[in-house]
Amino acid sequence: MDHPMAKPFSFAVRQDLIKQAKNESFDLIVIGGGITGAGIALDAALRGLKVVLVEKDDFAYGTSSRSTKLIHGGLRYLKQLEFGLVKEVGSERAIVHKLAPHLVIPEKMLLPLYEKRGLGYWLTSIGLKIYDWLAGVLVADQRKMLTRKQTLRQEPLLNPDDVNGGAIYAEYRTDDARLTIEIIKSAFHFGAKPLSYCKVTKLRYDAEKIVGVEVWDEIRQLQFSLSGKAIVNAAGPWVDELRELDQSKKGKRLHLTKGVHLVVSKEKFPIQQAIYFDVEDGRMIFAIPRGRTTYIGTTDTNYDGSKDEVHATHEDANYLVNAVNRTFPQSILTVADIESSWAGLRPLIHEEGKSASELSRKDEIFVSPSGLISIAGGKLTGYRKMAERIVDLVFETHFEDRQAKCKTATTPFVGSDFANYQAVRNYIVEVASKLKPFGLENEAAYLVGTYGKQSDSILSYLQSHQTGDAGADLLRAEIGFCIQYEITTAVADFVVRRSGMLYFNMPRLNKYKEILIQEFSKQLNWSADKRQSEAAALELLISNSTHFKQP
């Protein structure tokens, strides 16, 4: 199959899609534009179903832009003896790496071992051997056990007093929001109609069976209706709200837990590589280098606040900073060193008597008497299998005469024209040479890791729009691409979910704040009021990610 390039997916296209969608009857309506909903829309479109997806905010707005940004092999599930889950996520991450090697990047993880806590050397060695086998890890990437001396050489910042040895094992790093966006664009390419800023306000029924939804267009402030044979609720933390609307929230329910991540500059916490370490309360924490930063996470606490206003508190920040300082006594981080942060919700399935970190990460499917299909739980890594199970169920319940096999394991994402990870590295070198005349060669890895082969579009814009400030010109080129091809309608869409700048490049964001607002205003023809409200929204975003609320 050819590797498709992105086709225009802009605000103008959105208006056309809504116009068409109001007059059509769909095979499938998907509610929720996170990784799960996006995966379902792509799978269904590839199997020939007529699909519309509605998301109340920007795509990847909720959990799918606030995870640890790892396509995990699920080492922690081994501890919980969930062998099936380890096997599934292991094979899944290999597939997703193949589909998008620029977005799902091999990351060797160091696991320090201690005398008096954790599993100990031999149990870890056996556990990782089972993990490699279950997860189908390639021989070259299989676990390597280290002596105490080798571990401290691998990571000199570790506390030498209590390290007993270590292990290196295989993980994959990703950008969760970018992954979701590329899946949405691919679904659109294959015929789905994905609509952001479209909130379901009401479910429509005929003879007590669900037949459609009422939708509020947040941008144009208009109501419209959609009709569909099958309706899937993939709304993540909001799944139970839709089950309540359907009057079918019985039995199992969601249990929301909050995960917080902190970002510091690499200078403040210069670890050599990604590291997964345990803390005194038994939890495991990641510290992962990314570009000019290192990020640390995550917490796991019960949550019952606003689902739209999830922020890190002082308590969260102190917990992670203290955990780092105990494990890496030379780092001496303080809350003042934190450049940015994010907090997200995990929509887990409630289990009586279990703490937040003991809850299973397995997904569950609920089918209500009205026919509403809901999916909850699950992990970023398992999105493709979750989608496959849902679309299989949709065919089983609504289209028995139209059986079609899942094709997502072999269909590359839009703009992911790479044979393998080496091809990604080669392309980074090529992009760096094109950026060199502008003095921007150091941006090549960021551009390719964010946009893949679509970096070509950004480069050609940059080459034809020069003002003398190359950094500002590159930003304008990125904004132009995201508005035209990634339905970017607000500054938050861009700084959080398209570029990740709010989290990983706060100096760049602070330097070019004015230019950001100007460029969006120019390209989207904003009124003075709209421009002002977007500038205020940006300041609030920056404040929320850098200031920690008192509990």
Q: Is residue 185's pLDDT more than 90?
A: yes
Q: Within 13 Å of residue 309, how many CA atoms lie on the same side as its CB? A: 6
The count of structural domains within the chain is 3
- Segment 475-501 shows an average pLDDT of 97
Rounded CA-CA distance 272/156 in Å is 8
Q: Is residue 1's pLDDT more than 50?
A: no
Same domain, 484 and 453: yes
Q: Which of 121-130, 152-161, 505-514 has the lowest mean pLDDT?
A: 121-130
What value does the mean pLDDT of the chain take?
Answer: 91
Would you say residue 159 lies in a domain?
Answer: no
Would you say residue 186 lies in a domain?
Answer: yes
Length of the chain: 551
In 3D space, the residue among 138, 64, 79 whose CA is nearest the CA of residue 346 turns out to be 64
3-state secondary structure of 419: coil
Same domain, 335 and 266: yes
Q: Is 176 exposed, middle or buried (0-12, 13-18, 19+ CB in 10 A)?
A: buried
- Of 341, 375, 402, the residue that ends a domain is 402
What CATH code is carried by the domain that includes residue 296? 3.30.9.10
pLDDT at 355: 63
- Segment 64-68 shows an average pLDDT of 94
Model confidence pLDDT, tens digit, residues 499-522: 999 999 999 999 999 999 999 999
Per-residue pLDDT band for 161 (boundaries 50, 70, 90) equals: confident
Per-residue pLDDT band for 362 (boundaries 50, 70, 90) equals: confident
In 3D space, the residue among 360, 343, 359, 354 whose CA is nearest the CA of residue 297 turns out to be 343
What CATH code is carried by the domain that includes residue 508? 1.10.8.870
Rounded CA-CA distance 68/82 in Å is 20
187-213 residues labelled b (16+ CB within 10 A) or e (exposed) = bbbbebbbbbbbbbeebeeeeeebbbb
* Torsions phi, psi for 258 (to 5 deg): -105, 135
Position with higher pLDDT, 57 vs 416: 57
**Strand-pair category, 198-206 with 51-54:** unpaired
- Segment 254-259 shows an average pLDDT of 91
Instruction: For tokens 């799960």, name the residue.
Output: 36
In 3D space, the residue among 317, 342, 17, 44 whose CA is nearest the CA of residue 197 turns out to be 17
CA distances from 154 to 111, 146, 150, 168, 273 (A): 11, 9, 6, 10, 8
Q: Is residue 98's pLDDT more than 70?
A: yes
pLDDT at 130: 85
pLDDT at 84: 78
Give the torsion through C-alpha atoms of 262, 265, 493, 47, to 10 deg: -80
Q: Is residue 359's pLDDT more than 80?
A: no
**Structure-token pair, residue 337:** 């060193």
Q: What percent of the chain has pLDDT over 70?
A: 95
Same domain, 265 and 340: yes
Would you say residue 85 lies in a domain?
Answer: no
Rounded CA-CA distance 329/458 in Å is 43
What's the distance, CA 335 to chain centroid? 25
Q: Is residue 4's pLDDT more than 50?
A: no
- Segment 360-377 shows an average pLDDT of 88
Q: Which of 34-38, 269-273, 360-364, 490-494 has the lowest mean pLDDT?
A: 360-364
Question: Between vectors from CA 138 to CA 132 and to CA 140, what angle results, nearest 5°?
Answer: 105
Q: Is residue 443's pLDDT more than 90?
A: yes
**Which sign, positive or negative, has the C-alpha torsion 498, 291, 109, 545?**
negative
Same domain, 234 and 198: yes
Would you say residue 335 lies in a domain?
Answer: yes
Same domain, 449 and 541: yes
Q: Which of 131-140, 363-372, 453-462 has the lowest mean pLDDT?
A: 131-140
- Of 330, 349, 368, the residue that ends a domain is 349
Rounded CA-CA distance 296/274 in Å is 10
Model confidence pLDDT, tens digit, residues 380-398: 888 999 999 999 999 999 9
Same domain, 425 and 522: yes
- Segment 157-166 shows an average pLDDT of 90
Would you say residue 116 lies in a domain?
Answer: no
pLDDT at 3: 38
Same domain, 236 and 289: no
Would you say residue 93 lies in a domain?
Answer: no
Would you say residue 75 lies in a domain?
Answer: no
Same domain, 372 and 504: no
**Structure-token pair, residue 412:** 């590359």
The domain in which residue 270 lies consists of 255-349
Model confidence pLDDT, tens digit, residues 275-330: 999 887 878 899 999 999 999 998 989 999 999 999 999 999 999 999 999 999 98
Would you say residue 87 lies in a domain?
Answer: no
Same domain, 290 and 389: no
What CATH code is carried by the domain that includes residue 42? 3.50.50.60
Same domain, 425 and 507: yes
Question: Between vectors from CA 233 to CA 228 and to CA 239, what angle results, nearest 5°?
Answer: 150
Same domain, 455 and 307: no
Same domain, 432 and 504: yes
